[in-house]
């Protein structure tokens, strides 16, 4: 091979290496964001919403049109695959743990007066309110970083068809988007400013827009409702939410339960058939083989046998009252409800005696 050919080959190889190296070093550009101004469905929804609610049409079109599709959100709302084991012990450990308990103590001490007033006015124990705000946002430390309008628009217009209740859930998020824009118009807040969870929940208590509209209260008396920056408003609003969902003052949330020592007398399928809906009297539960503690056996209202799976270990059980069911209306999960209750109790137990100006009663 003569020198000229060899040099030409080396030059070509060097150029190829340079191009390859440049390609490796150049970061891949992210796909351009999809805005809902490009969606005829979204723009028609905007027009219908504006007419239905009496809102400025161009304002609504601009608000929805500037909302962005969040590709990760549809994946996050899908339920776990069938057969995924539940584990109450592991779930509880995520929330009833030292960091959250210490933060709860600080929150309770800082807002003891508001917690006591909420308990007095609404009949909802301070510990339950503290438990909710702790589980939801770690007392305001984790309120979500996504634009609420992006989350709601994504779930209203691009809800995953693989979800077992896709049509029902998509309709729910379309209503929440409508409530959100109505709220933004009424309060004069830029609809692109609020941040929240991937499902569009907002503030210390993670209220969806419809819950904000129905249950949020100006508990600090400053003339406006601010669930992001006013823990006092959040405290009053959580208490008001529970009253709106059937909370009964003074009723326990649950009782300890065991089972008859004779397995033949335990009709577990019958006891579990209503799920967490209170359906049995204490006497009926006993007849079906569920052994309540002394206090539970005297309970006058309906009860539910609540099963909490523990992976490969035996399940845990409690007898839930109507107040336990009320806690599940915040998040439709018995695991969530019991974690909230037990976090509230753990925080109350960790309070210095001198700081217990709110109720000593646990939920």
Catalytic residue among 136, 176, 178, 322: 136
Give the whole-angstrom CA distance, residue 207 versus residue 194.
Answer: 12
pLDDT digits (tens, 9 = 90+) for 22-43: 444 555 555 678 999 999 999 9
- Residue 176 a catalytic site member: no
Please state which of the ranges 20-29, 36-45, 71-80, 235-244 shows the lowest mean pLDDT: 20-29
- Domains recognised in the chain with CATH numbers: 38-81+146-201 (1.10.8.350), 254-320 (no CATH)
Q: Residue 8 above 50 pLDDT?
A: no
- The pTM (predicted TM-score) of the whole model is 0.88
112 burial (CB, 10 Å; 0-12 / 13-18 / 19+) is middle
pLDDT digits (tens, 9 = 90+) for 274-305: 999 999 999 999 999 999 999 999 999 999 99
Give the whole-angstrom CA distance, residue 322 versus residue 247.
Answer: 8
Give the whole-angstrom CA distance, residue 316 versus residue 298.
Answer: 22
Q: Is 128 helix (H, G, I), strand (E, B) or coil?
A: helix
pLDDT digits (tens, 9 = 90+) for 314-358: 999 999 999 999 999 999 999 999 999 999 999 999 999 766 544
φ, ψ of residue 68 in degrees (nearest 5): -110, 145
The sheet with strand 313-320 has its strands ordered as 290-292, 254-259, 313-320, 304-310
pLDDT digits (tens, 9 = 90+) for 157-195: 999 999 999 999 999 999 999 999 999 999 999 999 999
Cα 293 from chain centre? 32
- Mean pLDDT estimate for the chain: 91
């Amino acid at each position: 091979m003569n020198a000229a050919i060899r040099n030409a080959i080396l030059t070509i190889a060097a150029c190829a290496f340079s191009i390859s190296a440049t390609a490796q070093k150049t970061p891949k550009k992210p796909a351009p964001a999809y805005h809902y101004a490009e969606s005829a469905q979204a723009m028609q929804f905007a027009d219908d919403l504006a007419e239905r609610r009496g809102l400025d049409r161009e304002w609504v079109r601009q608000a929805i049109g500037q909302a962005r599709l969040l590709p990760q959100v549809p994946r996050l709302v899908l339920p776990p695959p069938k057969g995924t084991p539940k584990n109450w012990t592991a779930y509880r450990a995520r929330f009833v743990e030292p960091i959250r308990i210490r933060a709860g103590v600080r929150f309770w001490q800082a807002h003891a007066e508001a917690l006591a007033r909420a308990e007095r006015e609404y009949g909802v124990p301070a510990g339950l309110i503290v438990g909710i705000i702790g589980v939801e946002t770690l007392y305001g430390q984790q309120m979500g970083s996504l634009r609420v309008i992006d989350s709601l628009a994504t779930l209203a217009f691009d809800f995953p068809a693989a979800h077992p209740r896709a049509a029902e859930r998509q309709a729910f998020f379309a209503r929440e988007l409508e409530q959100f824009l109505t709220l933004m118009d009424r309060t004069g807040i830029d609809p692109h400013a609020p941040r929240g969870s991937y499902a569009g929940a907002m503030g210390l208590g993670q209220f969806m827009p419809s819950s904000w509209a129905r249950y949020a209260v100006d508990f600090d008396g400053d003339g406006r409702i601010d669930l992001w920056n006013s823990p006092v408003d959040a405290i009053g609003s959580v208490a008001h939410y529970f009253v709106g969902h059937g909370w009964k003052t003074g009723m326990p949330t649950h009782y300890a339960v065991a089972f008859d020592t004779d397995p033949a007398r335990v009709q577990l399928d019958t006891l579990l058939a209503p799920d967490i809906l209170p359906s049995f009297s204490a006497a009926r539960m006993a007849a079906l083989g569920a052994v309540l503690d002394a206090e539970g056996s005297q309970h006058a209202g309906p009860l539910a046998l609540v099963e909490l799976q523990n992976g490969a270990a035996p399940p845990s059980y409690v007898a839930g009252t109507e107040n336990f069911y009320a806690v599940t209306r915040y998040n439709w999960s018995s695991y969530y409800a019991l974690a909230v209750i037990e976090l509230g109790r753990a925080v109350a137990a960790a309070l210095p005696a001198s700081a217990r100006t709110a109720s000593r009663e646990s939920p």
